Copies of this chain bind each other. A is one copy, B any other.
Amino acid sequence: MSYSTGSTPDFLKQTNTTSASGQTIPGMPAAASQANVPNPKADLASLDDLERHLFAHRFAQTGMACYGLSIDPPAATADRSEAQAILAEEDHELLCSKSTGDLLARLSAPETDELLDETRKAQVRVLTRDRKRLIDVPPSEQAAFTRLTAKTHDVWLKAKKANDWPSFEPYLERIVEAMRQLASHKNPDADPYDVWLDEFEQGSDHNFYDRFFEQVKDMVVPLIADIAKAGRQPSHRCVEGRFDERRQWELAGDLARLEGIDPATLFLTHTEHPFSDALTTNYGIIAAHVHEDDILSNVYTMLHEGGHVLYEQGVNPAYNYTSLKGGTSSGMHEAQSRFFENYVGRSEAFATPLLKTLRHHFPGQFSRVTARQLYLASNRVVAQPIRTEADELTYPLHILVRYEIEKLLFSGEAKASDVPSLWASRYKSYLGVRVPSAAQGALQDTHWADGLFGYFPTYALGGAYGAQLRHTMIADGMDWDTILSSGDLSAIRSWLREHVWCFGRSKDPSDILLSATGEPLQTRYYTDYLTEKFSSIYEL
């Protein structure tokens, strides 16, 4: 505040108790001299200051991570990682210092309740939770884990390429052990796998997911078997051919616009493994890829990543510079991306505006294709071993396989060496698929190598959240098919903005779902939707 005394850099003042005048007593640290004198006004200023610093760090970190994957020159990787690690250290300090803890404790106390508006209460709640997830983890152990996952990622890349499971196996074993240890610091009383499930989807645990997947499995497995038995398959011919890369990038930009993203707020770039993020509501990033022989990959990548960006950009803009910014959980995020990819993008009604957009960029190839043909071509159910190539119906079973194996590894009932056989037997029994190799089996995804155990289940959960949201929109009177076939999705965006997006991290996913739909999660909306859609397509 007063730069010239220089006794305490402002940088840290946000976490100190200061007197109302903002003065510190020379030679005496603020926290020591005034810790017991309540000063809510100064505490609120400290909260704002903490949030400002966290915002700037988050902005820098998210940007670096996104640019890094898409535009950094290869030789720069190590330097960028080092800069990111140092900034992460700073974030840890900002959040985990004792003075931040004292500040959050004072602001959570019952006697300050009337001083805080709803936004600030949510900030304190979210910051307290973010802090709790970090505070008891020894930094050395966290750093060792970061190094282990970095190393394992490299090992995985090579192992996948060489179809060499044994080289990856000991690293997987170490990752599971390290994550069990980390979980025991975060919450010594909880089941370690539950700690990670809760980290990605607050409020969830393995009992919750067990019930969810049981219902999904009971419906999807027989339906896939029936489809296989029926032996019919829609034609894929209408989307085959070569599609010029440059024009596909123009198409990608148009798909984002069709979905409702303002081009003035979007940086669209290319990468090998598509991703998206948003630095603020004014700055969305989509990194996508284009394959000249697969135009549907472009279409559904863009609609999926665009759904993530719409969610991030639909958060209350007042949260931009606070910890309430962004989506509330992985599951709710996937709900939005899959909503636009599947419930919108793979619907028969939306095939009309989608076809119009495709024709605009590739008039020769799409002039004689019908909306019905496009709809069928993008909804073929094909049981095969690769998750990222899965259709809407088989997708949750790919996730189920991973979920069940994660549980077994964390409970100690299985070891890394058991994974290939567990993988093969489950793909056989759920999908009727033979796994041809480790590379096309348990080595196909990067998640485990990156220490993301507990993340997979949110992909399937997002599908179910989305189905329940869609059901409510229609039950509330939204003229779903008319809106989709018009290509103007603003009514859908408005609904989602009002009932889901605007809250950012201020509400938990279960609370958002309950207030938006009037019910807790009901898996039947998801299974009913899948049954109806695919029974009709396959005339079962």
Q: Which positions in A face B, CB cutoff 8 Å?
A: 3-12, 15, 27, 29, 32, 52-53, 55-56, 59-61, 63-64, 67, 71-76, 78-80, 82-84, 86-87, 89-90, 92-94, 96-99, 101, 138-139, 262-267, 269, 279-280, 282-284, 320-321
Contact = CB atoms under 8 A, between A and B. Distances in A.
B267 A74 contact: no
Nearest to A54: B86
Contacts of A98: 5-7
Nearest to A67: B67
Contacts of A83: 55-56, 59-60
A480 B92 CA distance: 55
Nearest to A140: B3
Contact of A86 (B55, B75, B139, B262): B55
Number of this chain's copies in the assembly equals: 2
A6 B55 CA distance: 22
A82 to B, nearest CB: 7
A71 B72 CA distance: 13
Contacts of A138: 3-4
9 contacts: A9-B94, A10-B93, A12-B12, A29-B32, A55-B83, A56-B83, A60-B61, A71-B267, A73-B263
B3 A86 contact: no
Nearest to A9: B93
A100 B368 CA distance: 72
Contacts of A12: 9, 11-12, 93
B101 A6 contact: yes
Contacts of A60: 60-61, 63-64, 83, 87
A310 to B, nearest CB: 15
Contacts of A284: 73
A7 B101 CA distance: 11
A322 B391 CA distance: 51
Contacts of A55: 82-83, 86
A231 B284 CA distance: 56
A282 B32 contact: no
A79 B10 contact: no
B73 A282 contact: yes
A34 to B, nearest CB: 13
A99 B82 CA distance: 25
A282 to B, nearest CB: 4
Top 8 A-B residue pairs of the complex, sorted by shortest distance between their CB atoms: A6-B98, A9-B93, A56-B86, A11-B93, A76-B283, A60-B60, A59-B83, A9-B97
Contacts of A94: 9, 11
